[in-house]
């Protein structure tokens, strides 16, 4: 029997054995992608603490931690796909972590007494508050819309689009610069970050309109 088994293995094509090994991927109890997502959530209270510390270096530290957290947003999804370690927990935690990050940063900035703007004459605190209200309001609306579309089996109509990716990029860049708060040489980082955040708010409204149009027939039937 042993000789027959050895002969059978010898007759098995090499590429067949390689394919069999490739499809046998060990299951990981807690994938690295989920570790990064949890780390992103853990970084949020650290950003809050650093934001309120009465030290000059804490501004840069808060921005750096926020940037690191934002980078894990792209990295965890890439690793989950690359290593084929996607999970239901990761799919749930990833958008939760993103929304917690953005909402927390917006609350911090709304509570902050911002410097006057150099390039336009407008109350910066009012502009931050209005922008934050638009972003948070849109997130609540689209989250509810996606939940409803998932219930009727049409969630694909409100999948993330390229506008959403541009919005996220501008949003994270703007929040990072605003959390930094100090000028970088001659660049008013806070003000430039605010303009990025306003641009993100415009895109977030645009994407909301697109999602609502795509799902309108299902909402009104």
Q: Can you list the domains of the chain with their CATH numbers?
A: 29-111 (1.20.120.1760), 115-221 (no CATH)
Read off the pLDDT band of 21 (50, 70, 90): very low
107 or 88, which is more confident: 107
pLDDT for 4 beyond 60: no
Q: How many residues does the chain have?
A: 221
Q: Which residue has the higher pLDDT, 159 or 4?
A: 159
**Best-predicted range by mean pLDDT (19-33, 95-109, 161-175):** 95-109
How far, in Å, are 64, 145, 169, 198 from residue 148 at the CA level? 37, 5, 26, 28
SS3 203: helix
How much is the pLDDT for 132? 97
Q: Return the structure tokens found at 186.
A: 């001659």
CA neighbor of 176 nearest in space, from 98, 61, 74: 61
For residue 211, which of 177, 173, 174, 161 has the smallest C-alpha distance? 161
Evaluate if residue 133 carries a pLDDT over 90.
yes
Residue 9 predicted with pLDDT over 70 = no
Q: Which residue has the higher pLDDT, 83 or 13?
A: 83
pLDDT digit string, tens, across residues 167-192: 999 999 999 999 998 888 888 999 99
Going 84 to 76 to 40 to 113, the CA torsion angle's sign is: negative
- Closest by alpha carbon to 48, among 104, 130, 6? 104
**pLDDT at position 7:** 47
């Amino acid at each position: 029997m042993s000789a027959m088994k050895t002969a059978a293995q010898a007759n098995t094509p090499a590429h067949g054995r390689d394919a069999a090994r490739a499809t046998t991927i060990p299951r990981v109890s807690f994938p690295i992608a989920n570790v990064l997502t949890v780390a992103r959530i853990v970084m949020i209270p650290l950003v809050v603490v650093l934001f309120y510390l009465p030290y000059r270096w804490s501004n840069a530290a808060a921005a750096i931690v926020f940037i690191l957290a934002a980078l894990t947003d792209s990295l965890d999804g890439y690793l989950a796909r690359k290593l084929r370690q996607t999970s239901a927990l990761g799919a749930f935690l990833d958008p939760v972590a993103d929304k917690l990050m953005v909402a927390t940063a917006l609350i911090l900035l709304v509570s902050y007494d911002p410097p006057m703007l150099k390039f336009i004459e407008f109350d910066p605190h009012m502009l931050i508050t209005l922008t934050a209200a638009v972003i948070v309001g849109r997130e609540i609306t689209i989250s509810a819309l996606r939940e409803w579309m998932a219930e009727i089996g049409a969630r694909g109509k409100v999948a993330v689009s390229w506008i959403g990716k541009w919005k996220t990029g501008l949003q994270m860049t703007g929040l990072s610069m605003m959390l930094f708060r100090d000028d970088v040489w001659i660049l008013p980082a806070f003000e430039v970050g605010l303009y990025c955040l306003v641009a993100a708010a415009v895109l977030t409204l645009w994407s909301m309109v697109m999602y609502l149009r795509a799902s309108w027939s299902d909402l009104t039937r």
